[in-house]
Structure 1
Amino acid sequence: MELELFQTLGISLGLGLLVGLQRQHDQSELAGIRTFPLITMFGTISAYLAQDFGGWVVAAGLLSLAGLVVVANLMRSKGPYVDVGLTTEAAALLMYAIGAYLALGSGTVAVAVGATVAVLLHLKDTLHNLISRIGQRDLKAIMQFVVISLVILPVLPDDTYGPYNVLNPYNIWLMVVLIVGIGLSGYFAYKIFGQKAGTLLGGILGGLISSTATTVSYARRTKDSSNTSSNLATLVIFTASAVSFARIITEVAVVAPGTVATVAPPLAAVLLLMLLLGAVMYFFKRDETDKMPEQENPAQLKMALVFGAIYAAVILATSFAKEQLGSSGLYMVAIVSGLTDVDAITLSTSRLMQTGNLELNNGWRLILVAALSNLVFKAVLVGLLGNRSAFSRIAVLFGIVLVAGLLVLWLWPEEFSLLSSLTAQ
């Protein structure tokens, strides 16, 4: 029951923040980024109280809030210098409801909501400064993600269709939401730190948003030696690729948490090697700086539809290969899909492992093969778009990782994977 309450209040808070963000961006004088979350949570608490005391509680709360709005507007109409806000009034109403719920409902939930109110009130300047840095393009990205996650996802059917009965529109779009969410977090981190983010941070953000796009951008920049050096471009591209391995492990943990003990260690071994190589590069080239290229909005509906189509195609190809071609066919799918988008094969393989339709030892190998295939593809991009110096450096680094990855595929003991699975259980 408490989990359900937290989920409901979390959604209430999120919706309040969303509407408050939009109103704050439009410089509303009545209510903004802090007031709307307080109002929505006040309504939620009132509704829960009404379950025990009757619907008049909700009506009384609505009348109280309406009275505050009327009074605020009357005061504002008296002169241009009246600064009227509803934050204190809304907070007072909400804390009244929390106090009542603390005695009549769940104390844990009441304490958590009360602490949230305190934090919202304390972060006034921080939240307002953050909103002031959000432009029209950034607001559009947020609204597009809302459409993708809160408008499209809930209406999709949660049933399987098509050949092999493996295409589930809800699950496919849920993976789209996950990937877009990861990219959007990197995008806003980039907006916070700005174009002057350090080399290492630039690579990390690039890996969160898109390591392939980062590779293309920095490879092109090496054509002009006065813009970006080959050493710096190599470090950023390699860092972004290392982050993509961490991203793969995160995706597996989210989609198939029961497989992490078996799947994560071999992938983490390759990631550790990349981190060591990246640390050595950074130590020798840490004095070089450059501006991070402008990043595209990852929440565009067109991009989401393209990824959804790729993910569905990978699911179909994997099911076909598994039934018609056996293990060799699965590896061919991993190689081909990994060339363009390693996320799709990672997510589809993770779901197969989670449902028991694919052995874990085969699953992590498919994911690693796709990741290594993606490294080869990015090396080719650097060779085609960058200068010879950048390509030679990337070829050496990616070559070391490729050899190490192949050794992991060949020599990783299955006994270790079995032990990890037993330990997790």
Structure 2
Amino acid sequence: MPDIELFQTLAISLGLGLLVGLQRQHENARMAGVRTFPLITVFGTVCAWLAQDFGGWIIAAGALGTTALVVVANLMQRGKEHVDIGQTTEAAVLLMFAVGAYLVSGKTPVAIAIGASVAVLLHLKEPLHQAIAKLGEKDLRAIMQFVVISLVILPVLPNKTYGPYQVMNPYNIWLMVVLIVGIGLAGYFAYKVLGNKAGTLLGGMLGGLISSTATTVSYAKRSKSAGNTKSTNYNLVALVIFIATAVSLLRIIIEISVVAPTTLSRVAPPLLSLLLLMAILVSFGFFMKKEDSGQMPEQENPAHLKTALVFGVVYALVILATAAAKDHFGKSGLYIVAIISGLTDVDAITLSTSRLMNNKTIELETGWKLILVAALSNIAFKGALVAILGNKALFARVALLFGISLIAGALIIWLWPQEFVLDWFGK
């Protein structure tokens, strides 16, 4: 290794140790601080250098020596008052020794990421403890259910295609379940942290991440029960529902970027055009409203195994229906499937179509149009829900916002140039 690289490695090791040590010193950690941690990481780096000439036992001996140092430091703290019985600093010491050694034999960016993550994790002690304190039994169950869905069920499923048209792949189907449940769970826990403090803008965004349809139903029912009281701000409620719907469109784009990233340069522009219009309408409504007293309704856990199974079944049926429609009816059959699927779950048709585009089974132009048709079908369905479940005053406001969006979406499908390629994301 050239001398310049040696000094670069040493500087990075020293810097990471200083970063973690600074945080520990700020927290008045008695065992190790701004001087000890740099020494630990540099010690790990030197051990790794020596191991290149004398064997890996040098690193093992260094790790044992670091462990002995931690044990002695703890023994010296016995009998003193206000001793911190936590093991966070001790674990950080051992990990930073390993980071210092990894800098020599591993990838430098990974070592830097680990060291920086250690500093951030140590610094977020209070926010993490506060967030965990807000979790109830239902929330812990949600986490465990997601672990079952993603780490227990997914790995054991066969990654083979079955059934008619050879489109039913259990592993791929359940992978889409994990993706959708993961997005919903992220929004759910953001809601749990923020709770009813979430205002109009944030409430709508969280609702779109968790479930825009559920958010629409919840707010529509609340407007119905509130009646025509002067305290009810229907502009505010309509804005929350519309924001959730706009975020659901953004969620569609995110799903495409995960499943079929190579198609984004052709697929994203028309969808982003509609999203931009909806963002303009949100901005106008946000400045027009007089108050920000919106509160998120109680949200359901999106990681229920039953919910995951239902989505998996819906997704599988959409895949099968899409293949059958394409085979028997051509493009016209695909649009019928998109309209029907969009009424119930736009995620399923989005993911299935994204996979078909990624596999070049359908053309990109047909793909984004199918997804947009499903999204517009879902918007119309939510408008119908507001009409049935909500107050007439709320429906009048939602109908205006949704109507503009539906007309704009139809014009995009009709007028968007076929050969238009806007390479926003690079070729």
Coarse TM-score class (shorter-chain normalised): 0.7 to 0.9
Task: Extract unaligned runs of 5+ from structure 1.
Answer: 1-44
Match of 2:329 among 321, 325, 331: 325
Distance 1:188 1:413, change over 3 A: same
Q: In structure 2, what is the Cα distance between the partners aligned to 1:294 and 1:120?
A: 30
TM-score (ref. length: structure 1): 0.80
Whether the 8 Å contact between 1:342 and 1:374 is mirrored in structure 2 is: yes
Match of 1:311 among 306, 311, 315: 315
The 3-state SS of whatever aligns with 2:191 is helix
Aligned to 1:215: 216
Residue 356 of structure 1 aligns with which residue?
A: 360
Name the counterpart of 1:39: none
- Measured against aligned partners, the alpha-carbon deviations of 1:274-311 in whole angstroms (never above 9, x if no partner) come to 11112212211141413211111111111111111100
Answering whether residue 422 of structure 2 is matched by residue 420 of structure 1, we say yes
Query: CA RMSD for the aligned pairs?
Result: 3.0
Query: Residues of 2 paired with 1:102 and 1:394: CA distance?
Result: 57
SS of residue paired to 2:422: helix
Q: Partner amino acid for 1:294?
A: E
Once the two structures are superposed, residues 149-174 of structure 1 have per-residue CA deviations (whole angstroms, 9 ceiling, x without a partner) of: 11111111111111111011111111
Identity %: 62
The answer for the alignment partner of 2:305 in structure 1 is 301
The separation in 2 between residues aligned to 1:89 and 1:229, in whole angstroms, is: 54
Give a deviation string over 1:112-131, Cα, whole Å, max 9, x none: 32222222222222322222
> Partners in 2 of 1:275 and 1:125 — Cα distance?
35
- 1:50-61 to 2 correspondences below 5 Å: 53=55
Does 2:247 correspond to 1:246? Answer: no
Task: Note the 1:75-90 alignment, pairs <5 A.
Answer: 83-90=84-91
Superposition map of 1:1-80 within 5 A: 53=55
Give me the whole-angstrom Cα distance separating, in 2, the residues matched to 1:327 and 1:113.
49
- 1:178-217 aligned at under 5 Å gives the runs 178-217=179-218
Corresponding residue for 1:113?
114
TM-score computed with the length of structure 2 as normaliser: 0.80
Distance 2:236 2:189 in 1: 23
Q: Give the whole-Å Cα distance in 1 for the aligned partners of 2:334 and 2:68.
A: 61
Superposed, which structure 2 residues align to 1:138-287 within 5 Å?
Answer: 138-223=139-224, 224-225=226-227, 226=229, 228-287=232-291
Contact in 2 for aligned 1:262/1:360 (Cα 8 Å): yes
Does the 8 Å contact 2:259/2:354 carry over to 1? yes
Deviation at 1:64, TM superposition (A): 7.9
Larger-Rg structure: 2
CA, structure 1 residues 423+375, in 2 after alignment: closer, same or farther (shift >3 Å)? Answer: closer
**How many Å separate the matches in 1 of 2:248 and 2:344?**
13
State the distance in 2 between where 1:245 and 1:231 align: 21
Residue number in structure 2 paired with 1:95: 96
Alignment CA distance shift 1:339-1:55 (3 Å): farther
Residues 153/65 of structure 1: CA separation in 2 closer, same or farther (3 Å cut): farther
Aligned to 1:420, the other structure's residue is in SS state coil
* Structure 2 spans left out of the alignment, 5+ residues: 1-44
Call closer, same or farther: CA 1:108–1:405 in 2, change over 3 Å: closer
Residue 391 of structure 1 pairs with residue 383 of structure 2: no
Q: Could you say what secondary structure the match of 1:415 adopts?
A: coil
Q: Measure how far apart 1:135 and its partner are.
A: 2.4
Counterpart secondary structure, 1:298: coil
Amino acid at match of 1:210: S
Residue pair 1:205, 1:240 contacting (<8 A) in 2 also: yes
Does the CA contact (< 8 Å) of 2:237 and 2:294 recur in 1? no
Counterpart residue type for residue 271 of structure 1: L
Q: Which amino acid aligns with 2:134?
A: R
C-alpha distance 105-262 of structure 1, shift in aligned 2 (>3 A)? closer
Distance 2:372 2:304 in 1: 28
Distance 1:67 1:162 in 2: 61
